[in-house]
Amino acid sequence: MFYRASLQAAAALASLSLLAGCGLLSDSGSEVEQKIVVGTTSEPSTLDPAAAWDNSWELMRNVFQTLMSYPSGSTKPEPDAAEWCKFTDTTSTSYRCKLRAGLKFSNGDKLDAEAVKYSIDRITALKVKGGPVGMLGSLDRIETKGDDIVVFHLTKPDATFPFILTTPAMSLVAPSAYSEHKLRSDGKITGSGPYLLDSYKPGKSAELVKNPDYKGYANRKNDAVTIRYFKDSAPVVAALRKKEIDAIYRGLTAEEVVSLEENKDKESNLQIVETVGADIRFLVFNPKDPAAGNVAVRRAIAQLVDRDALVAKVYQGTAEPLYSMVPKGIAGHTTSFFDAYGDPDQGKAKQILNKAGITKPVELTLWFTTDRYGSSTAPEFDELKRQLESSGLFRITLKSKPWKTFQEGFTKGEYPVFGRGWFPDFPDPDNFIAPFLGKDSITGMPYMKNEITKDLLPQTRKESDRGAVSKQFERAQQILVDDVRILPLWQGKLYVASGEDIGGGERALDPQTVMQMWELYRKASW
């Protein structure tokens, strides 16, 4: 009896091990290498962290390390390449980190304090337009003490600095492989993250394999990941149904999400995981354009846009109307645009324009990207065009470009009005206000508002209790309402679709809405 019970217990433990994603057994009893294929419509625009302030982070999170990061399930920065990090003064202007012992890059170079300093200094030296240099506005200088201590000296108190260090933009790079004078452009990566980039084919795929020298928090539940890049949603979903890929992140249309949620695809054996999202969509107005630069035109558009109709028709419940730049679920969220404009009203919009001496329909061109935010983007702009033109107050022309050329255009100020998305760098209201202001605004156009940048934001950055800064962020959002340089449209929900044999989807997205590929694994089949 004891022998039989022992065998049953051993079998149960083996089953649990398999279900936890520790590995599958082949017919011969040996462990089979776990490879996962993920499809996405979000191709990196760059492989160099010094230029990355977009969905390029998806790949970077998995191949680079940062000093701090988010262990699965956490919204608080925790050590990654660092053993510990902390403020060492009462004014929150000196932030010290001690590195883990024995870290090295994939080319064999030692990852020490000087490499950390080089990686961050390189961002400020290159100052890539539209890149992450704007995140380091509070950084004065970096000091190293021995091989393992890095001290960040800040020009002013900044309670958000630990959050900034978690972003893939602050990825640590090998100094010997990354010039301080130009971006790397050979299609390769030299990092110290959970995976190595084995090969990269722009627009097609990235092959990741386990980094045998990795030392960090990630518990890798697979051995290798292939990321396949698709231009549109239809092919990526078709690939999932054909089992050519195992999972999808960024690329599902609202129709596909609804179909999966309502279990209309029983024969495909697919599943979907929904996660609370903080990604937002908005319109950006160019202040130098003759029409979009007129505040009356911007306010009239704000008075006309029907967010309820937009999310109902195009996104079918997979998004919700957004009336402030700070989304629901983040401290400081308001409904400031609704408070100012109320429901869509053609009569009020006409009064706004007439008061400014505008009596003829305003001609405007709205731009959007074709391959960054999914296939629903084009229908979204069709609906915006319909809403504005049905008022009789606007004549709208729609134009679009792929992300890389689209990004070049808006950073040069070529578009009168264009659509953008924002996936948070970190879950804090500061990250939905600060990046859009200053000389290095992520919109590609300077937006100077001294009350926000020199008064309100500095006040909030002295406060480590982020729930205690709501009043300052409410005021900042009111200023944005008055200017209407940016018009929030909707807030999304996040979804991971996969085959039923894939586990880990519910833990794969971090607070920056970045996919942690190491969480995905193939369940045991019987």
Cβ-Cβ contacts under 8 Å for 23 (sequence gap 6 or more): 17, 31, 32, 34
Alpha helices in 185-294, H assignment, sequence order: 233-241, 254-261
Question: Following DSSP, what letter does each residue of 181-214 receive, concatenated?
Answer: SS---SS-----SSEEEEEEETTTEEEEEE-TT-
Ramachandran area for residue 374 (φ above 0: left; ψ -120 to 50: alpha; else beta): left
* Residue whose pair of structure tokens reads 């960090």 in the numeric block: 216
CA 49 to chain centre: 14
Task: Provide the residue-wise pLDDT of the chain in tens; the chain has 526 residues.
Answer: 333 333 333 333 333 333 333 455 544 444 668 999 999 988 999 999 999 988 899 999 999 999 999 876 677 789 999 999 999 987 789 999 999 999 999 999 999 999 999 999 999 999 998 789 988 989 999 999 999 999 999 999 998 999 999 999 999 999 999 999 999 999 999 999 999 999 999 999 999 999 999 999 999 999 999 999 998 888 999 999 999 999 998 888 888 888 888 765 555 689 999 877 788 999 999 999 999 999 999 999 999 999 999 999 999 888 999 999 999 888 889 999 999 999 999 999 999 999 999 999 999 999 999 988 877 899 999 999 999 999 999 999 999 999 989 999 998 999 999 999 988 888 889 999 998 998 878 888 899 999 999 999 988 988 877 778 889 999 999 999 999 999 999 998 889 999 999 999 988 988 777 899 999 999 975 4
Alpha helices in 412-511, H assignment, sequence order: 450, 457-460, 470-483
- pTM beyond 0.85: the answer is no
Hey, what are 477's tokens? 């959002």
Q: Are 153 and 55 in contact (CB under 8 A)?
A: no
Q: What is the pLDDT of residue 21?
A: 39
What does the alpha-carbon distance between residue 404 and residue 203 come to, in Å, rounded to a whole number? 11
